[in-house]
Amino acid sequence: MIESITPALGKEKGTPLYTQLYRYIREAIEAGKLPSGSKLPAIRALSQHLGISKNTVEAAYGQLVAEGYVESKERGGYLIQPLDELWNPLPVQYVEMNNKCGEASEVMNSINRKDRRESSFLPYEFRYGDIAFDRFPYDIWKSCLTQSVNDAAAAAPYGILGYGDRLGHLGLREELCDYVYQSRGAVCSPDQIFIGAGTQYTVSLLLQTLGLRQAEFAMEEPGYNGVRSVLAGLDCRITSIPIEADGIHVTALEQSTAKVAYVTPSHQFPLGMVMSIEKRQRLLKWASASDALILEDDYDSEFRYGSRPVPSLKALDYDDRVIYLGTLSKSFLPGARLSYVIVPRRLVPVMTERMANYSCSVSPMIQQAVWLFIKQGHYGRHIRRMRRVYQARYRALTDAVSSTMGERVRIVGDSSGMHILLRVPGRDAMELVALAEQAGCLVYPAAKHWSNPDAEAREFVMLGFGGMQEDMLREGVRKLSMAWFAR
Amino acid sequence: MIESITPALGKEKGTPLYTQLYRYIREAIEAGKLPSGSKLPAIRALSQHLGISKNTVEAAYGQLVAEGYVESKERGGYLIQPLDELWNPLPVQYVEMNNKCGEASEVMNSINRKDRRESSFLPYEFRYGDIAFDRFPYDIWKSCLTQSVNDAAAAAPYGILGYGDRLGHLGLREELCDYVYQSRGAVCSPDQIFIGAGTQYTVSLLLQTLGLRQAEFAMEEPGYNGVRSVLAGLDCRITSIPIEADGIHVTALEQSTAKVAYVTPSHQFPLGMVMSIEKRQRLLKWASASDALILEDDYDSEFRYGSRPVPSLKALDYDDRVIYLGTLSKSFLPGARLSYVIVPRRLVPVMTERMANYSCSVSPMIQQAVWLFIKQGHYGRHIRRMRRVYQARYRALTDAVSSTMGERVRIVGDSSGMHILLRVPGRDAMELVALAEQAGCLVYPAAKHWSNPDAEAREFVMLGFGGMQEDMLREGVRKLSMAWFAR
Ligand SMILES: Cc1ncc(COP(=O)(O)O)c(C=O)c1O
Ligand SMILES: Cc1ncc(COP(=O)(O)O)c(C=O)c1O
């Protein structure tokens, strides 16, 4: 087997070695040269065989695991998975989500000041935040939840009905460590993690426990309004740093006096690009040189449909500067309200000491159930399945947009995540959103993610596609196209 | 029936009319004059009969409901309950709660710097925060949770698997309105409520949404460290106001420049007294006169074992100055991590507008399950049952302390809640806590709830009793007594 993995590494300049290795193995699997059911060579053996570091092999394997080509087994083996891995979808039920106070009503309120309680269900809701509820394994999750309450009744160790561990369920933190290592290449231990009720709260708690409120923050422009609101609500000083084609404008950041930079390197929110490896390295250098911290929000990195793997910044964080923000809202369920933070090793003592004054914000019952879900292997399987589901939805959406709207719009995004932006030159998003609503479609103006929306910002419309089946996406795009351009 | 309710109201000067009426009816029920199964007169009828306002009658009825003497039925009737209402306790299982990072390990860490993971289970854990897990209706709760996921799968209206309503589950907010009205006399509507993951987060979110971070805060001294930590973590200015025998030193508050006062009027934390009605009124006047706000933390008001009913400040809040903090951590389960805030009516617009930028922090699955639990009547029944359970535990604990420790300690508390303080003159609580631990007992030094602990503060030891059965309480007190005084 090991002989069949002999790529000409170093051929592609500018592409990291691990990416080249990952691609080589992936193609070999896809071509059937590495048959499913067999094991990949041990990391040490392959690193010696190829004369590269173990880290490189590990990173390549991690990416293959993250994308579902390979499953990592206890005791270290990496098993190649069947390509058309069969699974039994649940009866496809269109789950009618009428999330009254989600983005939906917010937008609608701002447009026509409707009473919140009157905001009605639209047939085509491109709601950002929805996931593929129609493919969610309800029965498994229900049994995890029931199991969790049973565990509580039967003298479980961590007080599932009580406040629970202040940092979060220890078993769950252990699983999360494994997970970020396997899928994101980041090495951490459970004492570096705390669990909290959503990214907004974990960020707010971070500021409290690390005493960061007084620091100067850099935010991407445009950047995630959810985090900007938290910083603004706590009277933090915020500097906006523009976004370039390959991510945050690091030179502008270097010229600022910011001490904490919030970034979305795997999938810039909302524009969608991946931060280039050069920028990642410059960003890390900036942090070291300025004695600064980086808040890496890795919210939907699980879902990439193109070929390029994206390492996390945390995986490259040799100088211990990156605070990693993870969430289960995309990869599992927004309704779990469970996210987590990995703090740099040197900040563990102060974080732990201060956290002794805060109780955990996520129900230990939910944490126990999620822990069971992960530990029993459902989480990994679920992500692999969902990647294919979202990939199909992404393609259906972008194909439909291209074929019905053609040159009149530009699709902004990078084959990943659960949303795209449409840029409609010369049109105002507020008007487009209102026209869409009349045609039964919920879409969003993206401008709220700019701290200072300029004319360009107002040309962007945001569409979430995670919660819509392909037919609905195609039909919805047809409606949008008629509403926007058929006059 | 109405004729049998003819108290000589106004006899007791200084006691509010509604208290007198409440007492009169309660005594009539206890004496069997008002038989169980019959209904109380309609509010309007009784108010006319006695020539008092409807509000007074309502407040008296509310108190009777809160204490389980009367159950309020749909369509307005108030049904008198059997005094020895039978109920089927679950098989008594001692739930061994080994909450590694709760107060327990915090204290133990601070005492002997043990590794957190080694902190071991002690046989007698007077843990503050534990409730009577041994009496919790697991099966009912499990079925509510399962029902909640089923509802989600079957196209439920509020997106139980999604982010959910930003303010919290609408049905649950409606139930909470009813509840605070029935049990606390506070009148509010669901749009005044938001739900969050524990008191610490709801307070933090309050500061963000109402822009209060810059205000000067008054905290009780001693006062709840959980909230003080949040204020300190957000760099708020805090003034400490001493506690007198009947609650916060209002004169000192009046002389301060504070604009927001955090108080625990129903059961001062940690000292346990009830704020007198005179102080309540002065406090409300202070708020009006200084254009200030009051944060009323009503964390365990459900559990009073003496006779005196305690109205909430919010119930007297005619000038719309009180922000009410409620939690389900004592009355239901800490593990639900569910608390709520009622904001004054005039702050609803700004709160609602700012909340549009925050997602809800409590899992909608939990919220739906709690909603079912309340709506189906389990919550009311549970509280009435638990009141008797805790009353028995309170008595067992205080009787045991009196008989074994006698004059050597003073019990500080007021027949309510789930904790007491013991003051041990001339001894240092840290030493007492360490001796207790050697004897297998977990108790706490109370000094951390003082912002400036003086010598007196260091004489207080805190004991939680909610999670311990009577035998254990008695046995634990015996151990404590031997450890502390038997030399
Ligand atoms: C950039 C970004 N970060 C994080 C999140 C996840 O937030 P949460 O963990 O509160 O669900 C989202 C979801 O909308 C997002 O867009
Ligand atoms: C004074 C006080 N307020 C509030 C709470 C409840 O906090 P939470 O809602 O986070 O459980 C407690 C619990 O310990 C408390 O002692």
CA angle A172, A177, A182 (to 5 degrees): 125
Q: Distance from B455 to chain A by nearest Cα, in Å?
A: 23
pLDDT one-digit tens code per residue, A122-134: 999 999 999 999 8
Each of the 487 residues of chain B gets a pLDDT tens digit; together they read 777 787 777 666 667 788 788 888 888 887 778 888 888 988 888 888 888 888 888 878 877 776 667 887 766 688 887 765 422 222 222 222 333 333 433 333 333 333 333 356 799 999 999 999 989 998 999 999 999 888 776 654 447 899 999 999 999 999 999 999 988 889 999 999 999 999 999 999 999 999 999 999 999 999 999 999 999 999 999 999 999 999 999 999 999 999 999 999 999 999 999 998 889 999 999 999 999 999 999 999 999 987 665 779 999 999 999 999 999 999 999 999 999 999 999 999 999 999 999 999 999 999 999 999 999 999 999 999 999 999 999 999 999 999 999 999 999 988 899 999 999 999 999 999 999 999 999 999 999 999 999 999 999 999 999 999 999 999 999 999 999 998 6
A4-13, A262-271, A348-357: least confident range: A4-13
Q: Which ligand is nearest to the CA of A300?
A: 1
Check B204 against A209: CB less than 8 A apart.
Answer: no
Closest-approach residue (CA) in chain B for A90: B153
A88 pLDDT exceeds 60?
A: no
Q: What is the DSSP letter of A39?
A: B
Highest mean pLDDT among A13-22, A58-67, A301-310, B427-436: B427-436
Integer Cα distance of B146 and B140 in angstroms: 10
Integer Cα distance of B205 and A204 in angstroms: 9
Is A11-80 CATH 1.10.10.10?
yes
- B163 alpha carbon to ligand 1 midpoint, in Å? 10
Q: Distance from B171 to chain A by nearest Cα, in Å?
A: 12
- In 3D space, the residue among B334, B342, B341 whose CA is nearest the CA of residue B370 turns out to be B334
- Which regions of chain B carry the CATH code 3.90.1150.10? 122-135+381-485
- Which regions of chain B carry the CATH code 3.40.640.10? 142-377
Among B99, B109, B170, beta carbon nearest to A163? B99
- Judging contacts by C-beta atoms under 8 Å, the chain B residues touching residue A198 are 359, 361
- A467 alpha carbon to ligand 1 midpoint, in Å? 16
Residues 6+ apart with CB under 8 A from B3: none
Q: Which residues line ligand 2 (CB under 6 A)?
A: A 359; B 129, 198-200, 224, 226, 264, 269, 297, 299, 327, 329, 334, 339
What are the angstrom distances between the C-alpha of A264 and each of A195, A392, B149, B424? Answer: 19, 24, 32, 55
Closest-approach residue (CA) in chain B for A209: B233
Which of 3.90.76.10, 3.30.70.360, 3.40.640.10, 2.102.10.10 would CATH assign to domain B142-377? 3.40.640.10
Specify the CATH number of the domain B122-135+381-485.
Answer: 3.90.1150.10
The alpha carbon torsion through B153, B154, B160, B165 (nearest 10 deg) reads 150
Strand, helix or coil for residue A310:
coil
Helix, strand, coil % over all residues of chain B, rounded to 5: 45, 15, 40
Residues 6+ apart with CB under 8 A from B40: B1, B5, B25, B34, B46, B61, B64, B70, B77, B78, B79, B80
Integer Cα distance of B77 and B59 in angstroms: 15
Helix, strand, coil % over all residues of chain A, rounded to 5: 45, 15, 40
- Which regions of chain B carry the CATH code 1.10.10.10? 11-80
- In 3D space, the residue among A199, A317, A222, A329 whose CA is nearest the CA of residue A272 turns out to be A222
Among B136, B197, B233, beta carbon nearest to A197? B197
pTM: 0.80
- What is the separation of C-alpha A424 from the centre of its chain, rounded to a whole number of angstroms? 26
